């Protein structure tokens, strides 16, 4: 028995066992992607007879049926939905980074009355998701739209404003932890040379916090780009829909008939910007998440 246990222990620690575990993990992670890729080439648009390799494909035209419907159908403004999602995600991410970095810098470098209480209050507010305030946010946008239409209901400005407030608390805490790791000697040396707080922040500190800016920006972009519920409630007209809301219309049985093939095709295309972002910024992600956790 001891020999069997020894051999089993050696096998579990060998490269063969590690390779098997890695292969199983890859299959588990990639199977949904492979399945939805296969569904995007299934011309029937149904999931009831879906197989890993589409069996109803006879020629190239059948293979591209769902993509042709997605791009050529005048009732499906796919690229308009894609532009709406990218526009909202990019603008909200830029504004979130600007406001969050300034707030985190103030909490990290300045000492003022109520600083700790304000930090705890911001964190406590984040405990309650936007879903709980959905009705209140809806009514607020109606009232704001009476005076500022660009920030009202069925406007991108109002939705961006909600997205900015929704994730700001966590981002402030995350960025503050990173700012705390930067020595205060940099600020003091700049002030001795006559620099203002703004100059110290913009020219010295801001370039040093690039990893956490990438992490916060990536989370903000992905979360906004993939968000569905708030966009579905706040945007009423089809031309103003985001991509997630537009894709849902293919499987909701509402304006369009239920068509899982077109939904799968649109989902694959929608994943391209996210994948490209992760691949281009992956070297900043690990450092941005770990360094800020050292000191807070």
Q: What's the whole-number mean pLDDT along residues 224-228?
A: 90
CA distance 290 to 129: 25
Does pTM surpass 0.85? no
In this predicted model, what pLDDT tens digit does every residue of 128-170 receive, in sequence order? Answer: 766 777 888 888 889 998 888 888 888 898 899 888 887 777 8
The alpha-helical segments, DSSP class H, found in 185-259 are 185-192, 197-199, 206-208, 210-226, 229-234, 243-248
Task: With beta carbons less than 8 A apart as the criterion, state whether 243 and 24 touch.
Answer: no
Q: Which residue shows structure tokens 């945007």?
A: 235
- At the topology level, CATH places domain 74-291 in MetI-like fold (1.10.3720)
Structure token pair of residue 33: 């992607």
Lowest mean pLDDT among 57-66, 120-129, 231-240: 57-66
Task: With beta carbons less than 8 A apart as the criterion, state whether 134 and 69 touch.
Answer: no
| 296 secondary structure, DSSP code | -
The alpha-helical segments, DSSP class H, found in 56-167 are 60-63, 65-72, 78-109, 115-127, 134-147, 156-166
Domain residue ranges of the chain, discontinuous segments joined by +: 2-71, 74-291
Task: With beta carbons less than 8 A apart as the criterion, state whether 209 and 179 touch.
Answer: yes
Percentage of the chain exceeding pLDDT 90? 7
In this predicted model, what pLDDT tens digit does every residue of 4-28 receive, in sequence order? Answer: 556 555 555 666 767 777 788 888 8
Burial class (CB in 10 A: 0-12, 13-18, 19+), 5: exposed
């Amino acid at each position: 028995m001891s020999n069997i246990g020894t051999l089993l222990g050696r096998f579990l620690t060998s490269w063969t066992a590690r390779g098997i575990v890695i292969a199983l993990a890859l299959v588990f992670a990639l199977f949904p992607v492979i399945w939805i890729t296969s569904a995007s080439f299934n011309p029937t648009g149904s999931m009831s007879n879906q197989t890993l390799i589409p069996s109803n494909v006879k020629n190239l035209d059948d293979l591209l049926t769902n993509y042709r419907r997605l791009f050529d159908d005048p009732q499906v403004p796919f690229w308009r939905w894609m532009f709406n999602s990218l526009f909202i995600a990019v603008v909200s991410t830029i504004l979130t980074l600007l406001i969050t970095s300034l707030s985190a810098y103030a909490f990290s470098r300045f000492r003022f009355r109520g600083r700790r209480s304000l930090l705890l209050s911001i964190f406590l507010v984040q405990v309650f998701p936007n879903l709980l305030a959905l009705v209140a946010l809806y009514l607020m946008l109606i009232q704001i739209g009476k005076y500022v239409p660009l920030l009202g209901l069925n406007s991108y400005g109002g939705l961006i404003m909600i997205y900015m407030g929704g994730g700001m608390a966590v981002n402030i805490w995350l960025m503050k932890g990173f700012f705390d790791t930067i020595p205060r000697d940099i600020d003091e040396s700049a002030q001795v040379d006559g620099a203002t707080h703004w100059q110290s922040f913009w020219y010295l500190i801001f370039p040093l916090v690039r990893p956490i800016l990438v992490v916060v920006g990536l989370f903000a972009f992905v979360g906004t780009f993939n968000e569905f519920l708030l966009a579905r409630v706040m945007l009423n007209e089809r031309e103003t829909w985001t991509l997630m809301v537009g894709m849902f219309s293919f499987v909701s049985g509402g304006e369009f008939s239920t068509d899982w093939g077109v939904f799968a095709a649109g989902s694959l295309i929608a994943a391209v910007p996210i994948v490209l972002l992760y691949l281009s910024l992956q070297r900043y992600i690990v450092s941005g998440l770990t360094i800020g956790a050292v000191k807070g």
